[in-house]
Structure 1
């Protein structure tokens, strides 16, 4: 096995007696921390075996452990053998009860960082230490202790190797290369030329971005509902539409499905016309004609120039004497699914109205916004309870709903420190109450940019943007 192992990649593994270790692959460090030395050893060998499996051949590893320094060879199957005399210090036979801990190890020499190693899952064959073995009977945990003693001593491989089929060989690297850190102090060091791995928080953010950036087959409809006014429905519609449109690039429309007159048009940009959902319904035959091009929809929706989604406003006639019917919801939805991949629907406060119930019929993902006020939370609970009691599709939507809890939308003045603390505590109480009953609960911090006027994603504070990204990812997981 040793004759197949090359000096590339450069791998150095460190095992310490304090439950920590490190594997450095071509200059990229992989710190390890576990409950005991045996667990550190297993994790180190897993990382090395993954690299060998990815390369399809054994790899050489220089080691530093409590016994000294050595050189081992690890195969893609997890077999470990000594490649050379493994120790520079005399080998211990038993670990004395009062043996001093080694608190420092030689530093690994970093290799060039231009060739990071990708990983592919592969089994590691190691032998765990018995759980109840007396301390004085334990052998020291070292890299040498993982060597498969049943294997014959490494010998030179025959000059003639088994010929493999070209169909079984590929030079393509299937595992993606992990991009270096871009945020925080790790990102600063990356810009200075030190390749740093991203933090756990940055990896979570990358995963949320990947989730909201996906495209799915067929259109999807999101309904934002709460039977209580002032529950943050309209800001939720705007923010979900903005994030999904920005990251996925999918044609997205926010539709104000209030039975009479909604407020979505007040919180968003107006285009060069005054058309609403009623005008779209009146022109539905033309819009559904095969000869009509996609650009014609711009006559009826209002484009958001910064956030890249469109708004279909509710009827805003002065008399306000028209209520949208179930049939009109069907017509408008048929038109919009021809021109858009994603529809995010605002709603009124009456779960009994025909247009509300027909909206639920078309919904793929339910979102229930609530502010950190008890009557808004109670209204949200009753909304979910109503849907659950109806059974079938409605009950399934309720069970898989995403609840978005905003800390506050104080419209009169900026909140004091004590008020913000109370709002955070109340938001956590409400979030904990909903968590057992729905698929996901996301909290949104207070942000004055959401209180009054047109809502813009770029106007939000970074923490608020991050929270809404998490909320949009939770929604997109339901697609």
Structure 2
């Protein structure tokens, strides 16, 4: 492996992929690189075919004249033989075919509107059949949506709750939140959102000591803290995985091997929703951990593709989000099976050249593997951590990785990252904010 990374030539600004408006909008203050410049909208672009204002436009106000077909009123005779003059509406020049009275203003029948309960937006258009729905294959990676990206999250404009403005508001004022607080709220909203079906995230880097296990732990903690239960971290290391050493033990010592032995029962209709807790270890941060058995030899641990597939099938049945801490052997059957079932990948690295080069090579080789691997590599999130105060800051590597991945984020040095067990609440506020932003960048790719 080369000692120095071989990166794409040219300035990062010229070759970096243009982020979507949604990704740019959700970027937090902890990213090392500056905000990406947005192109000015072109005045010549045609209007959207279905503007919201046109769909929801109320019916025009009812005219003061009589409806079409109304008969002109005539003078009615009186008892004295005269005629009483009455106000006559204007006689219509159109045929006098009787018509139904128009509905009140704002209630005009506009015909059946588009149904917002279908899963295929194009089925709203007349003459276009809905896309047939097929049953998902258990354990397989979810296909990427082909429709438009979801719109930006609604802006939270409630008064400031943090910082100096929040302190002033606690005495009765209602100051607006600062820009940094709004960005934090957007990140929390992204992390808190749920989606249909289970999602699988693989944390991968072929170099040991690249922060894979802390990344898996803290991503799980942020998702669980803001989005609620249903998050599990899974140790898929065929060697001596350390996920169990970096997290809290439960009231038992069961591992993935015990779960596999009971997989038939756990997937049976008779199994209850809480039976999985007999095999996982719950954490104070709100997520669960499925541990490996690092005390045994590798030949005594379930490391086959079939074993991983079965364990993943059980976890994806019970949990909405499965975050997998992987080993260093990218050629192992369990590693390959994990990639085949991943919906997204996170590539952690520290600021040492050999770890960064390992991350870059993984993305390069994965993009050449097959279509699914290329898709994962193009959408990868790279997390660059400063593992010690003596190492360089992550800014330069973050800028370089944005040329070869969807996004890259920086994590500052924090001595509490070496804690055992590792708790999100033990980190410095700036470190917690950086992990919240990193998790939000991942969450935007899971919907």
TM-score by length of 1: 0.61
Q: Is the 8 A contact 2:229 2:286 kept in 1?
A: no
Q: Does 1:165 align with 2:106?
A: yes
Aligned partner of 1:457 in structure 2 is: 424
Range with bigger deviation, 179-188 or 397-406: 179-188
Higher helix share: 1
Runs (4+) of structure 1 moved beyond 4 Å? Answer: none
Give the equivalent residue in structure 1 for 2:415: 448
Is residue 280–residue 300 contact of structure 1 (8 Å, CA) maintained in 2? yes
Deviation at 1:389, TM superposition (A): 1.1
Change (3 A) 1:177 1:462: closer
Which structure is higher in RCO with an 8 Å CA cutoff and minimum separation 6? 2
In 2: Cα distance, 1:164 partner to 1:176 partner: 33
- Is 1:225 the counterpart of 2:194? The answer is no
Q: Is 1:373 aligned with 2:356?
A: no
Secondary structure, aligned partner of 2:346: strand
Number of the residue aligned with 1:471: 438
What number of residue pairs does the alignment pair up?
Answer: 302
2:423 pairs with 1:423: no
Does residue 316 of structure 1 match 2:294?
yes
Whole-angstrom distance in 2 between the partners of 1:214 and 1:477: 9
C-alpha distance after superposition, 1:99-146 (max 9, x if no partner): xxxxxxxxxxxxxxxxxxxxxxxxxxxxxxxxxxxxxxxxxxxxxxxx
CA contact (8 A) 2:156 2:182 kept: no
The alpha carbon displacement at 1:234 in A equals: 0.3
**Aligned CA-pair RMSD:** 2.1
Structure-to-structure mapping, 1:195-206, within 5 angstroms: 195-206=174-185
Give the structure with the higher percent strand: 1
- The answer on whether the counterparts of 1:260 and 1:315 sit within 8 Å (CA) in structure 2 is no
Query: Gapped runs of 5+ residues in structure 1?
Result: 1-55, 57-161, 169-174
Contact kept, 8 Å, 1:260 with 1:321, in 2: the verdict is no
CA displacement at 1:432 relative to structure 2: 1.1
Equivalence for 1:332: 311
* Residue matched to 1:247: 226
- Cα shift readout 1:233-263 (whole Å, capped 9, x = no counterpart): 0000000000101111140100000013200
1:166 is displaced (CA, Å) by 5.3
The answer to whether the 8 Å contact 1:240/1:468 transfers is yes
Q: Tell me the residue number matched to 2:402.
A: 435
CA distance 1:167–1:314, change in 2 (3 Å): farther
For the residue of structure 2 that corresponds to 1:255, the secondary structure is: strand
The CA distance in 1 between the partners of 2:438 and 2:215, in whole Å, is 10
Which secondary structure state, in structure 2, belongs to the residue aligned with residue 345 of structure 1?
strand
